[in-house]
Chains A and B, each alone.
Chain A
Amino acid sequence: MANRLSRIRLSRRNFMVGSATAAVAMPLVGARAGSQPERPSETIRYTAPVKLTINHQPYELNLDLRTTLLDAIRDHTGLTGTKKGCDHGQCGACTVLINGTRVLSCLTFAVMADGREVTTIEGLAREDSSLHPMQQAFIDCDAFQCGYCTPGQIMSAVGCVHEGHAASEGEIREYMSGNLCRCAAYPNVVAAILQARDETRKA
């Protein structure tokens, strides 16, 4: 009696079985409690070395091949600015830039980003730590409340401008509709993008 969630995970796993490469041993501790019998420690299946470049910083990780780019960023590099809102490509909270293009990191396996340049919200501010014009505009226009969707909104906004989809309010609304904001700061997000658009193009 598998539910829908299970099926999704299973199909991911089955896919990975065929393409799994070297399994790299990770030190693990066996079960210590719970209602299951004690089990000997084992290795995680399907791991592989993955080289990620995030905000110009190289990372060499040993990852379960099923690890999404989102989980790799959050759980394995400690950069938790990128958020998980659905894990299914429905909310935009996990948006990052890969080679400058906006991408949903929850729908991207970490291995798919091997060798590519990933930019997260932590990498957007300039080297002197002054804010990117889009970040400043989000502050000026109060384009958030709880702030949870905000890293995704900002990365998406930068991508939207660079794609050339920020010509008018209407176009911004349309091309920012993959980023849900349950606090509903939408009009302020549009105002922020209009404010930062020209400077972002130059940046």
Chain B
Amino acid sequence: MSKEAPAPRENMGAPVPRFDARLKVTGGATYPADIPVADLAYGVLVTSLVARGSLAQLHTDKAATVPGFLGLFRHGDMAGTQPPKFGVAASSIGPLHGDRIFHDGQIIALVVAETYEAAMEAASLVTAEYDEERPSAGFDTQGTETTPGAGASPLFGEDVHAGDFDAAYAAAPVKIDEHYSTPTQHHNPIELFSTTAAWRGDQLTIYEPTQNVTGWKTELSRQLGIDPNRVRVISPYVGGAFGSKGPMTARTAIVAVAARRLGRPVRCVVTRMQAYGTQTYRAETRHRVRIGAERGGHITAFGHEGWEVTSRPDAYVVGGTIATGRLYAYGSVATHVDLVHADRNTPGYMRSPPETPYVYALENAMDEMAVALAMDPIEFRRVNEPTREPIGGKPFSSRSLLACYDEASKAFGWSDRESAVGSMRDGDWMIGMGCATAVYPTNIAPCAARVQLMADGHARVQCGCHEIGTGIRTVAGQMAAERLGVELTKVSVEMGDSALPPAPVSGGSNSTASVCSAVMKACDAIRNRLFLAVSGEGAPLAGAANSGMSLGNGQVIAADGRTVTLADAFATLQTVLIEEYAEFTPKGASPQALKKLYAGQPEFRGGERDDAVKYAFGAELVEVRIHTLTREIRIPRIVGAFAAGRIMNPRTARSQLMGGMIWGIGSALQEETEVDPRNARYVNKDLQDYLVPVNADIGDVQVILVPETDPQVNPAGVKGLGELGNVGTPAAVASAVYHATGIRVRDLPIRLDNLLT
């Protein structure tokens, strides 16, 4: 055990190393663009230089003279295919289905050549003429259209409310009314986006990093007008996703069409810069938060209005008021979300899509309220701890927020914090300490899995889930090893292929709960078959009650202590392999839920959809240091304590939460995609100018896994935590910056120019 592999506490599994650790340190893990494909041709995209208008002319003659040029695909070449359907697809925009330009960086052509170098050269020689129209870049620019967020998506049905907010707010003796904002951000996984399409006859194989092999198979076959069984999507390893590889972009079908027309496989690796306009992103948001409270600190009124930028055609909405409206014991709640349609590419899921912006606004406002009330900010949250959530009056399946604050405060040394603003200093450095709550819903969806157990104790798990770096392959294997009583080293796990049993999209932190529940179900069916066989008349454990039986150390163990080896147990069945295929559906799922899973449209439960509200919680405490002369902002240490039900593997859980908090630090201090308001184009489109944390930006990051047992949440007892870690961080940093300087920054990111006085 070590810091990186923490000893398990109650209701936690072993901190075993990742199944794929050796492959990942030897270069043996194959990401989709690594997979060798014979006779490969190389594709390079050409993208629009204007954000709105239509394509008047595309000059391709020069490109065609480049030696090695094979073909160019443009407007008109997707004839016979269907444009994407927003949902599983990232956008409804089919860029080559018409001549309309909807946003900067839209694909206008795909150039294919014998080599990457020739394709790049040819693509650089393609020029376009546009009938340009004046674009709207986002908030505060002319020509945008505002529509209600409620009802725009099945994920955001209504604006939540409770009680009489107006009256309670008017009557409150202490109140605030403030505006906050979060900027455009791009995921920037280190793996470049890519598509490789290979046809064998009428069978299409796509190698592409994805969080949704089943959904993509279905959507791509719909676009191409072919049987879904003729499409296979393979994505053995994904080099970081964070939501960016959830929705399928228009490129996938374009590359598939090019490969079909050229009669050879095509690989298109998108440049870092082109990813900004051809993939999704976190759109900028604005918030107005009003909080009213009694002098003792009890909140009587909470109002949260949000505005989100989206594209012209697609009503992408995150609607984080669903969670902020339920976080504390507010007396009354009023919320409203509006969408602002601009000439931008369609945004998409990015790590904690609703919570990152909305909880940032709420938690920054909570800190302002604590100041207004002259209360310790943690104490203020303690006073407003609910027994039931305020919107539907439902209980929480479990809620360990205060335990998280207790453990985090102790580890951080919160009691040493001097409450007065600007009172802590170390030489030339002003010190500030701040805190914020992290919250994330526990989502779960139907999931299928196939498990095989061999007489020699080897087990094999197959599930069309995705190893995006979370450790899902490892924890699925741990679940199988535990339920089947075999050594972990004898378990193999296959994922990332649409030919495997379908799993939901790896998004919304649902994978561990959904996959482990399905694996458990398959394992339990295997157990039952074995138990029945060995307890029958004349069998080795004749007469033993099945309910008291277990599997362990490669044996079947009866309640009375009798045992039989797996080999002998299999002999009674006269078989060497038992295979079970399980289809898990969460409680409350509709009768169509399984059918939808196979169609790539998983139906989610959990969160606030069930009888109890199912959320994971955390408390984040951070120290900032701000230089008195330069205003440089440093974060020497951050402590996060999180409770998320059963922790399958403390090592991988810690890494995800640590990575999340570092994401939060990036959001707080660095990340912003600048949009030029004059032409609605992205400005800082690479890793040089889009700042993400580097090693030297990060100090001590402490993750505390707080024990929590929640049998109600789902069969595996697991809450998702991949997105929990970055939810509280930006507000905690803002709180600490205020504590150090007395300057309240409400618009992210917080940069040193915000602190010049």
**Can you list, as one digit per residue, whether each of A64-83 has a CB less than 8 Å from chain B (1) or not (0)?**
10110001001100111111
Asked whether, in the complex, the Cβ of B71 is within 8 Å of the Cβ of A182, the reply is no
Which A residues are CB-close (under 8 A) to B654?
Answer: 142
Asked whether, in the complex, the Cβ of B191 is within 8 Å of the Cβ of A145, the reply is no
How far is the CB of A140 from the nearest CB of chain B, in Å?
7
Asked whether, in the complex, the Cβ of A188 is within 8 Å of the Cβ of B73, the reply is no
**Residues of chain A from 128 to 158 with CB closer than 8 A to chain B in the complex:** 131, 135-136, 138-151, 154
- Nearest residue in B to A176 (C-beta to C-beta)? B695
Q: A42 an interface residue at 8 Å Cβ cutoff?
A: yes
Asked whether, in the complex, the Cβ of A43 is within 8 Å of the Cβ of B663, the reply is no
Query: What is the CA–CA distance of A5 and B697 in the complex, to the nearest angstrom?
Result: 29
Asked whether, in the complex, the Cβ of A85 is within 8 Å of the Cβ of B262, the reply is no
Decide yes or no: A145 and B469 within 8 Å by CB, A35-B73, A182-B188, A186-B695 being known contacts.
yes
**Can you list, as one digit per residue, whether each of B252-295 has a CB less than 8 Å from chain A (1) or not (0)?**
00000010011110000101111000000000000000000000
Decide yes or no: A142 and B18 within 8 Å by CB, A5-B273, A147-B24, A185-B655 being known contacts.
yes
Query: What is the CA–CA distance of A1 and B693 in the complex, to the nearest angstrom?
Result: 34
Of the listed stretches B29-37, B402-410, B428-436, B521-529, chain A binds B29-37
Which A residues are CB-close (under 8 A) to B22?
Answer: 131, 139
Asked whether, in the complex, the Cβ of A31 is within 8 Å of the Cβ of B70, the reply is yes
Asked whether, in the complex, the Cβ of B49 is within 8 Å of the Cβ of A3, the reply is yes
Which B residues are CB-close (under 8 A) to A31?
Answer: 64, 69-71, 262
Which A residues are CB-close (under 8 A) to B756?
Answer: none
**Residues of chain B from 567 to 589 with CB closer than 8 A to chain A in the complex:** none
How far is the CB of B687 from the nearest CB of chain A, in Å?
4
Asked whether, in the complex, the Cβ of B192 is within 8 Å of the Cβ of A33, the reply is no
Q: B239 an interface residue at 8 Å Cβ cutoff?
A: yes
**Residues of chain B from 232 to 267 with CB closer than 8 A to chain A in the complex:** 237-242, 258, 261-264
Asked whether, in the complex, the Cβ of A142 is within 8 Å of the Cβ of B237, the reply is no
Asked whether, in the complex, the Cβ of B115 is within 8 Å of the Cβ of A148, the reply is no
Asked whether, in the complex, the Cβ of A146 is within 8 Å of the Cβ of B239, the reply is yes
How far is the CB of B22 from the nearest CB of chain A, in Å?
7
Query: What is the CA–CA distance of A176 and B697 in the complex, to the nearest angstrom?
Result: 11
How far is the CB of A197 from the nearest CB of chain B, in Å?
15
Asked whether, in the complex, the Cβ of B27 is within 8 Å of the Cβ of A9, the reply is no
Decide yes or no: A148 and B695 within 8 Å by CB, A2-B127, A81-B27, A154-B25 being known contacts.
no
- Nearest residue in B to A74 (C-beta to C-beta)? B34
Which A residues are CB-close (under 8 A) to B31?
Answer: 83, 148
- Nearest residue in A to B109 (C-beta to C-beta)? A35
Which A residues are CB-close (under 8 A) to B60?
Answer: 36
Asked whether, in the complex, the Cβ of B688 is within 8 Å of the Cβ of A90, the reply is yes
Q: B539 an interface residue at 8 Å Cβ cutoff?
A: no
**Residues of chain A from 148 to 188 with CB closer than 8 A to chain B in the complex:** 148-151, 154, 172-174, 176-188
Asked whether, in the complex, the Cβ of B128 is within 8 Å of the Cβ of A1, the reply is yes
Q: A191 an interface residue at 8 Å Cβ cutoff?
A: yes
Asked whether, in the complex, the Cβ of A139 is within 8 Å of the Cβ of B124, the reply is no
Asked whether, in the complex, the Cβ of B274 is within 8 Å of the Cβ of A188, the reply is no
Which B residues are CB-close (under 8 A) to A177?
Answer: 694-697
Query: What is the CA–CA distance of A45 and B686 in the complex, to the nearest angstrom?
Result: 30
Query: What is the CA–CA distance of A117 and B574 in the complex, to the nearest angstrom?
Result: 57
Asked whether, in the complex, the Cβ of A44 is within 8 Å of the Cβ of B239, the reply is no
Which B residues are CB-close (under 8 A) to A179?
Answer: 695
Query: What is the CA–CA distance of A59 and B748 in the complex, to the nearest angstrom?
Result: 51
Query: What is the CA–CA distance of A29 and B265 in the complex, to the nearest angstrom?
Result: 13
Asked whether, in the complex, the Cβ of A64 is within 8 Å of the Cβ of B659, the reply is no
Decide yes or no: A138 and B25 within 8 Å by CB, A1-B128, A86-B686 being known contacts.
yes
Query: What is the CA–CA distance of A34 and B469 in the complex, to the nearest angstrom?
Result: 38
- Nearest residue in B to A93 (C-beta to C-beta)? B190
Decide yes or no: A91 and B687 within 8 Å by CB, A45-B67, A184-B658 being known contacts.
yes
- Nearest residue in A to B28 (C-beta to C-beta)? A81
Asked whether, in the complex, the Cβ of B696 is within 8 Å of the Cβ of A34, the reply is no
Asked whether, in the complex, the Cβ of A84 is within 8 Å of the Cβ of B2, the reply is no
B26, B663, B697: the one contacting A125 at CB < 8 Å is B26
How far is the CB of B200 from the nearest CB of chain A, in Å?
17
Decide yes or no: A180 and B114 within 8 Å by CB, A84-B192, A142-B4 being known contacts.
no
Which B residues are CB-close (under 8 A) to A136?
Answer: 25
Which B residues are CB-close (under 8 A) to A149?
Answer: 190, 239
Query: What is the CA–CA distance of A84 and B267 in the complex, to the nearest angstrom?
Result: 14
Query: What is the CA–CA distance of A67 and B114 in the complex, to the nearest angstrom?
Result: 13
Decide yes or no: A142 and B112 within 8 Å by CB, A151-B27, A180-B694, A184-B659 being known contacts.
no
Q: A32 an interface residue at 8 Å Cβ cutoff?
A: yes
Asked whether, in the complex, the Cβ of B272 is within 8 Å of the Cβ of A39, the reply is no
Asked whether, in the complex, the Cβ of B5 is within 8 Å of the Cβ of A147, the reply is no
**Residues of chain B from 433 to 459 with CB closer than 8 A to chain A in the complex:** none
Q: A52 an interface residue at 8 Å Cβ cutoff?
A: no
Q: A51 an interface residue at 8 Å Cβ cutoff?
A: no
B3, B118, B240, B470: the one contacting A182 at CB < 8 Å is B240
How far is the CB of B383 from the nearest CB of chain A, in Å?
34
Asked whether, in the complex, the Cβ of B471 is within 8 Å of the Cβ of A145, the reply is yes
Q: A60 an interface residue at 8 Å Cβ cutoff?
A: no
- Nearest residue in B to A125 (C-beta to C-beta)? B26
How far is the CB of A169 from the nearest CB of chain B, in Å?
9
A-B pairs with beta carbons under 8 Å apart, 30 shown: A1-B49, A5-B274, A13-B121, A28-B67, A31-B71, A32-B261, A34-B112, A34-B261, A35-B76, A42-B67, A44-B117, A78-B36, A83-B190, A86-B686, A88-B272, A91-B687, A122-B27, A125-B26, A138-B25, A139-B22, A141-B4, A146-B468, A154-B25, A173-B695, A173-B698, A177-B694, A183-B655, A184-B660, A186-B662, A191-B3
Q: Can you list the 4 inter-chain pairs with the closest CB atoms, starting with the nearest?
A: A81-B27, A34-B71, A148-B239, A146-B469
